[in-house]
Structure 1
């Protein structure tokens, strides 16, 4: 017999996410946990936080693919490699089945559109290759402007200067 509740969990500082997976039966639940979490930690956490008894726990660490450079790099470098942090998953077998609630028809209280927009912006920002491609796709780059000026396709014109511009340090005496 497995003894539950050996390690009391008061205020955990770990983020544990329940993941929806349709291929698992109703008595199984899949969690994304920190790399430092053990099976006993998850079992005691579920017991103390939710009163949930678990029978078996399987865990595996999923290594991420090697990428060129870091996602937050401003200028991606070609021969710089980076492997993102691994992700640890745990699948627990419960004594009672768990069924996911139905998705609501109205997502307005959760601001789902704003979340999706922020998520898309974050995904675009985290991909260095996307930034490089976007910069290359802009048609009015300095090189193309210079080429068009040299070939005579476009004429150079001054940038309009604001007539009402005031000099900032006009009253300073030296």
Structure 2
């Protein structure tokens, strides 16, 4: 009797695949030589990890690695705190930077002159508006007068010293006279209209 050979389908996903669960940031430092690259790395990453990461992911052979940990300045209250609590001192987490010496030079690409593809104007306006809103919500933000107008005290001082004379702004308060039409209906007539 002939025996039948049964072949099994190969199992999928048997090979171990390790993906990094950290973020490495390449810093643009114009003072560095093209043979050096500076990185912002997590605190638990060591020199051998960075060397292996660059070689296995990007095929970059590394000659040497230098690392240092930079302590942050002491701040009053935490950055993302919803309620500001004065007199609570906090030191943000330290930053670890590594500098790598490479065999092949790496030159950063030139920054483009036309940023219309990325809508840079809109992004800058949004950042200004966000900064203005953050400043208004921050400590003492409600007590600060808006930056668009002078304070009332400065205006009063200028009036008292005679640098400026008191006058009403005609653009802000336009004179309006109401007249009766021939039909007996009232209509508004503007004065001081510039044509």
Q: Bin the TM-score by the shorter chain.
A: 0.5 to 0.7
Query: In structure 2, which of residues 139, 150, 158 is the aligned counterpart of residue 132 of structure 1?
Result: 139
Structure 2: gaps spanning 5 or more residues:
1-15, 147-195
Larger Rg: 2
The Cα of 1:64 is off from its aligned counterpart by 0.6
How has the CA–CA distance of structure 1 residues 76 and 32 changed in structure 2, closer, same or farther, with 3 Å as cutoff?
Answer: same
Alignment TM-score, normalising by the size of structure 1: 0.65
The Cα of 1:134 is off from its aligned counterpart by 2.2
Structure with greater proportional helix content: 1
Q: Residues 115-169 of structure 1, C-alpha deviation per residue, up to 9 Å, x if partnerless? A: 4455556666777x97123211147xxxxxxxxxxxxxxxxxxxxxxxxxxxxxx
Distance 2:44 2:129 in 1: 30
- C-alpha contact (below 8 Å) 1:71/1:126 kept by paired residues: no
- C-alpha contact (below 8 Å) 1:69/1:80 kept by paired residues: yes
The residue correspondences of 1:64-79 to structure 2 (distance < 5 A) are 64-79=72-87
How has the CA–CA distance of structure 1 residues 54 and 74 changed in structure 2, closer, same or farther, with 3 Å as cutoff?
Answer: same
- C-alpha contact (below 8 Å) 1:9/1:48 kept by paired residues: no
The residue correspondences of 1:56-67 to structure 2 (distance < 5 A) are 56-67=64-75
The root-mean-square deviation of aligned C-alpha atoms, in Å, is 2.7
The residue correspondences of 1:14-93 to structure 2 (distance < 5 A) are 14-93=22-101
Count, aligned residues: 131
- C-alpha contact (below 8 Å) 2:84/2:138 kept by paired residues: no
Structure 1: gaps spanning 5 or more residues:
1-7, 140-174
What residue is the counterpart of 1:151 in the other structure? none
Greater RCO (CA < 8 Å, at least 6 residues apart) = 1
How has the CA–CA distance of structure 1 residues 46 and 124 changed in structure 2, closer, same or farther, with 3 Å as cutoff?
Answer: farther
Distance 1:87 1:121 in 2: 29
Alignment TM-score, normalising by the size of structure 2: 0.58
The Cα of 1:43 is off from its aligned counterpart by 0.6
What residue is the counterpart of 1:106 in the other structure? 114
How has the CA–CA distance of structure 1 residues 123 and 52 changed in structure 2, closer, same or farther, with 3 Å as cutoff?
Answer: farther
